[in-house]
């Protein structure tokens, strides 16, 4: 989609930031960075933000709210920035959804930046994008990236060329502020941060990873994967190594 040039910015090419939606996703994966990028678009008319999906119909999430995209994939064939959210079982199942993966391949073809939040990186990996790249994901599924030839990295977000992947759920906000800085400069990114008052104070402090005992969740993660890929034993076997 090419948005019309904004008044006062006739020389600048409109740049479209597209957020992907699909049924069952984790809504904070979308709405966190969407709020950041919408503030960018309010401040800098060069940028247009859209939310794309197969249909412009209400889409279930892993919470009681449903989301309705603003555009279909067909209406935004070549966004400049594409962001893919994650989720739990529906996202793991979507690794075998060739129709959705084809949508991502098409939309990402010419994109300057291809990003993901949480397990959205597994969809980028399943679509064939992350082979040979460093990437991250939700801690519970991060190591699956190796099965697609990517190198998992335990960082809040990981930038490798045009691929920018964020850790789990809330990490999309941090990644999006980084993207705003990359796209529009640090002053604008600071203003966006002020607009959304992003001055986090987790009431119990950050996550104490040493105490979190994440390795105890491996059987649970494997059970979710098996449930998600019940219909694709070949992919399941490949991902289980």
DSSP state of 77: S
Contact 74, 18 (CB under 8 A): no
Q: Which CB atom, from 88 or from 236, has the smaller least distance to its own copies? A: 88
**Which one of 58-66, 104-112, 125-133, 230-238 is the stretch in contact with its own copies (CB under 8 A)?**
58-66
Told to check if 51 binds its own copies by CB under 8 A, we report yes
Comparing CB distances to its own copies, the nearer of 49 and 114 is 49
Of the candidates 214, 224, 226, 235, which one interacts with its own copies according to CB under 8 A? Answer: 214
Tell me: does residue 169 bind its own copies (CB under 8 A).
yes
CB closer to its own copies out of 51 and 124: 51
In angstroms, rounded to a whole number, what is the distance separating the alpha carbons of residues 143 and 60?
A: 27
Looking at 1-9, 21-29, 123-131, 218-226, which segment touches its own copies (CB under 8 A)? 21-29
Phi, psi of 134 (to 5 degrees): -80, 140
Q: Is 37 a catalytic residue?
A: no
Q: Which of 27, 79, 90, 115 binds its own copies (CB under 8 A)?
A: 27
| Integer Cα distance of 100 and 63 in angstroms | 21
**Of positions 64, 132, 161, 234, contacts its own copies by CB under 8 A:** 64
List Cβ neighbours of 199 (8 Å cut-off, separation of 6 or more).
193
CB of 64 to its own copies, least distance (A): 4
Q: How many CB atoms lie within 10 A of CB 35?
A: 18
Helix 27-43 / helix 171-184 crossing angle, nearest 10 deg: 30
Tell me which residue of 35, 24, 29, 23 sits closest to 169, measured CA to CA: 29
Count CB neighbours of 95 within 10 A.
Answer: 24
* 77 touches its own copies (CB under 8 A): no
How far is residue 139's CA from residue 162's CA, in Å, rounded to a whole number? 22
Q: Distance between CA atoms of 162 and 142, rounded to whole angstroms? A: 19
Q: Which is nearer to its own copies, 130 or 192 (CB)?
A: 192
Catalytic residues: 118
The binding site for its own copies (CB under 8 A) comprises 19, 21, 26-28, 30-32, 34-35, 38, 49-51, 58, 62-71, 118, 138-139, 156, 167-171, 173-174, 177-178, 181, 186, 189-190, 193-204, 206-207, 209, 212, 214
């Amino acid at each position: 989609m090419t948005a019309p040039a904004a008044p006062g910015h006739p020389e600048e090419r409109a740049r479209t930031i597209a957020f992907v939606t699909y049924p069952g996703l984790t809504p904070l994966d979308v709405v966190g960075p969407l709020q950041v990028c919408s503030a960018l678009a309010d401040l800098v008319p060069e940028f247009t933000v859209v939310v794309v999906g197969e249909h412009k119909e209400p889409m279930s999430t892993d919470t009681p709210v449903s989301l309705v995209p603003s555009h279909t994939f067909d209406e935004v064939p070549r966004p400049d920035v594409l962001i893919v959210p994650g989720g739990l079982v529906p996202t793991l199942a979507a690794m075998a959804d060739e129709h959705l993966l084809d949508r991502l391949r098409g939309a990402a073809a010419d994109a300057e930046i291809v990003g993901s939040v949480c397990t959205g990186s597994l969809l980028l990996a399943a679509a064939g994008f992350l082979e040979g790249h460093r990437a991250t994901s939700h801690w519970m599924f991060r190591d699956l990236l190796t099965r697609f030839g990517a190198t998992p990295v335990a960082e809040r977000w990981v930038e490798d060329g045009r691929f920018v992947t964020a850790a789990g759920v809330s990490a999309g906000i941090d990644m999006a502020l980084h993207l705003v800085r990359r796209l529009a400069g640090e002053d604008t990114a600071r203003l966006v941060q002020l607009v959304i008052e992003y001055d986090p104070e987790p009431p119990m402090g950050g996550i104490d990873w040493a105490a979190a005992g994440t390795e105890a969740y491996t059987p649970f993660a494997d059970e979710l994967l098996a449930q998600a890929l019940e219909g694709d034993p070949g992919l399941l076997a490949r991902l289980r190594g």
